Amino acid sequence: MSYDKNWAKVDASTLPDIKVPTPGPRSKELHARAEKYMKGYSSQVKLFPVAFESGRGVTLTDADGNTYIDFSSGIYVTNLGHCHPKVVEYIQKYTSQLMNCHDYTTEIKTLFLEKLASVTPGNLNGIQMYCAGTEAVEAGMRAARACTNKHEFFSFYGDFHGKTLSAVSLTETANYTSGPRATGTHLAPNGHCYRCPFEKTYPGCNIFCVNALKKQIEMEGTGNVAGVVLEPVQGWKGSVVYPDGYIQKIRKMCDMLGILMVVDEVLTCCARTGRMWCVDHYDVTPDIMILGKGLANGFPCTAFAIKEEYVEVLEKISASTSYGGNPMASAAGLASLEVIEEENIVERAAKLGDFIIRRLNKMKDSHKIIGEVRGKGCLLGIELVKDKETKEPFIDAGNKVYQKAFARGVAWIPSKQNLRMSPPLIMEEDLAAKALDIIEESIAEVEKEYGYQ
Ligand SMILES: Cc1ncc(COP(=O)(O)O)c(C=O)c1O
């Protein structure tokens, strides 16, 4: 199909467009009605209970008619912008042609599998499709168990891998469950240099944390370790980027121990970090890679990809689900992969990310409460602290800055003292600059309230 490649262009001077103080009356009413039945909203929603009505490209419009600059992409999902015309057209075709036929093959599913296998790194050609990132993580773990006949997994402090029992057991926040982690799951200190769990300094540390991980696997494992599961950039923990050499050292360690490296790229995949896959930054090929979020630009469609030598093992773990790989999901996935190529999305993400991180670093120099700026491509964040020396987390400031910037028209993502930014990868720099102005004004206002200026 052909479409106007400038479909998402906006006049930055007209945005954001906040017509009524937000959350406005209609948002409040809808939220209150929904909340009567549904509990457990994210802190993002609790701190700013707006109700959205529509999204187009790089903007979101709420139920009161206010239009925001989107610095969230849902939650790292709509990488190509809301309602990308090609993605919409592909999905629409199958909403009237064939919505579901269990796990039978369809032409669109075959085309999507072929396309995905052609762009995954190395020989990650074995694919199964699911509907949620969590489900794909679970399936990836099942695949790792089937490949190794072992069942123990190590993941990392600060990781988030989903909310079913196995996936949540690999996740730092145990508060999503009301009981112990699944047996055989272990959490290890990670290479978060700003808050090094070993209080060491990179690069002098020689990436000691991976030596410690190896020791932990040898001491805590019972000889049944299937693999290590990691996020190549930690999203929930505040866009934590690992130092160069860390991911590579884990790869070497896995090879040395004969265990699998499972990389959870649910959040980082499909150009989000300025490369097609985050592992491309490190020249590393995992044994299993989990994909989600940006894979189909908003339509539920996730997958794992596994090395060719393990493909036959997949026969042991049935791929059939009610919805995985359904024609609409396959169409959305295929359209998204095509758009990434046709619109040079990888390069655009890298360029936009560079622009934003340069501005954030400038902000850090002139604001006492910005402790660290983090990012890879368009997966970005800042951490607010009470004091740059002690690095004491400034959670109240994080919440307030989030709310103030949102009220001025920037839809973004909080995580306590960490403020996360994830613009659609198609955003132009002038609009990103406006969002960053608003964020800086909000930081300055909070600093003033707490007596920092
Ligand atoms: C790294 C990572 N893995 C897995 C998940 C779970 O994905 P989903 O919410 O689609 O189940 C997420 C969600 O945020 C994630 O960030």
Q: Is the pLDDT of residue 176 over 80?
A: no
Residue 89 pLDDT: 98
Residue 2 pLDDT: 87
- Indicate if 200 and 244 belong to the same structural domain: yes
Q: Is the CB of 301 under 6 A from ligand 1?
A: no
Judge whether 93 lies within some domain: yes
Sign of the Cα torsion 193, 195, 196, 199 reads: positive
CB 262 within 8 A of CB 141: yes
- Indicate if 170 and 57 belong to the same structural domain: no
- Return the CATH number at 99: 3.40.640.10
- Indicate if 130 and 275 belong to the same structural domain: yes
Confidence at 71, pLDDT banded by 50, 70, 90: very high
Domain termination site, one of 280, 307, 342: 342
Domain termination site, one of 294, 327, 342: 342
Judge whether 189 lies within some domain: yes
Q: Is the pLDDT of residue 178 over 80?
A: no
Burial 94-114 (b: 16+ CB within 10 A, else e): beeeeeeeebeebebbebbbe
What spacing in Å lies between the alpha carbon of 82 and ligand 1's midpoint? Answer: 19
- Indicate if 382 and 421 belong to the same structural domain: yes
- Indicate if 120 and 180 belong to the same structural domain: yes
Residue 173 pLDDT: 75
Judge whether 327 lies within some domain: yes
Judge whether 5 lies within some domain: no
- Indicate if 122 and 225 belong to the same structural domain: yes
Judge whether 7 lies within some domain: no
Q: Is the pLDDT of residue 83 over 60?
A: yes
What spacing in Å lies between the alpha carbon of 239 and ligand 1's midpoint? Answer: 14
User: Per the structure block, which two tokens stand in for 398?
Assistant: 């994080």
User: Bridge-partner residues for 413, per DSSP?
Assistant: 420
Residue 179 pLDDT: 78
Q: State pLDDT tens for residues 268-302.
A: 999 999 999 999 999 999 999 999 999 999 999 99
- Indicate if 367 and 338 belong to the same structural domain: no
- Indicate if 106 and 215 belong to the same structural domain: yes
**Residue range(s) defining the domain that contains residue 121:** 85-342
Confidence at 174, pLDDT banded by 50, 70, 90: low
- Return the CATH number at 52: 3.90.1150.10
Judge whether 6 lies within some domain: no
What spacing in Å lies between the alpha carbon of 21 and ligand 1's midpoint? Answer: 32
* Cα–Cα dist 165/176, whole Å: 9
What spacing in Å lies between the alpha carbon of 34 and ligand 1's midpoint? Answer: 24
- Indicate if 66 and 104 belong to the same structural domain: no
* Cα–Cα dist 300/326, whole Å: 10
Q: Is the pLDDT of residue 88 over 90?
A: yes
* Average pLDDT, integer, range 381-394: 98
Write down the mean pLDDT value for the chain: 97
Domain termination site, one of 342, 362, 391: 342
- Indicate if 427 and 300 belong to the same structural domain: no
Q: Is the CB of 171 under 6 A from ligand 1?
A: no
Q: Is the CB of 298 under 6 A from ligand 1?
A: no
Judge whether 3 lies within some domain: no
- Indicate if 183 and 328 belong to the same structural domain: yes
* Cα–Cα dist 305/286, whole Å: 9
pLDDT above 70: percentage of residues in the chain: 99
Judge whether 152 lies within some domain: yes
Q: Is the CB of 162 under 6 A from ligand 1?
A: yes
Q: For the chain, how many structural domains are there in total? A: 2
- Indicate if 277 and 410 belong to the same structural domain: no
Residue 180 pLDDT: 86
Residues 6+ positions from 135 with CB-CB distance below 8 Å: 162, 164, 302, 321, 324
* Average pLDDT, integer, range 138-164: 97
